[in-house]
Amino acid sequence: MTVRRLRRQGGEPWYDDAAGRLVRPYTISNGRTRPTAHFDLLTMVMATGRRPVSCQGPDYAQVLRLCGGPVSVAEIAAHIRLPAAVTKVLLADLVDCGAITARAPAAVSAGSASRTDRALLEAVLNGLRKRL
């Protein structure tokens, strides 16, 4: 998918300082709202080193640059300033073409032996109270 950068007569990109880029998010994902793979906001993704043939364009390149090390879906969405739903579609495309791998966050079972330490939680609460 290639996203053309709209340009004014002088060759300047169509940006509005207050609104940001003028290309709507649904055009980046070709109108798709559902990714082909499941992603949680905490899912960790990382580049495999493979250069995708089918997933090209500035948005895919930007996502791949961010995936040099393990990074969460939420962090990527924040960096590229796109809604999480659009980011998940881009990431699913990159997973489908083998350019990135994704790992879901580990689930914590209800009867887990690693209980929350009350003293730690109280120390965090006290620290927050001092800062506020």
Q: What is the pLDDT of residues 64-113, one digit of tens each?
A: 999 999 999 999 999 988 888 889 988 998 998 899 999 988 765 555 55
Give yes or no for a contact between 27 and 2, defined as CB atoms under 8 angstroms apart: no
1 pLDDT band, cuts 50/70/90, is: very low
Give the pLDDT confidence of 43-72 residue by residue, as tens digits: 999 999 888 777 778 888 899 999 999 999
Record the pTM: 0.61
Q: Which two tokens stand for residue 106?
A: 């580990």
In angstroms, the CA 96 to CA 27 distance is: 19
User: How many other C-beta atoms are found inside a 10 Å radius of the C-beta of residue 74?
Assistant: 15
Question: Virtual CA dihedral for 109, 39, 105, 64, nearest 10 degrees?
Answer: 180
Higher pLDDT, 29 or 103: 103
**Bridge-partner residues for 21, per DSSP?**
15
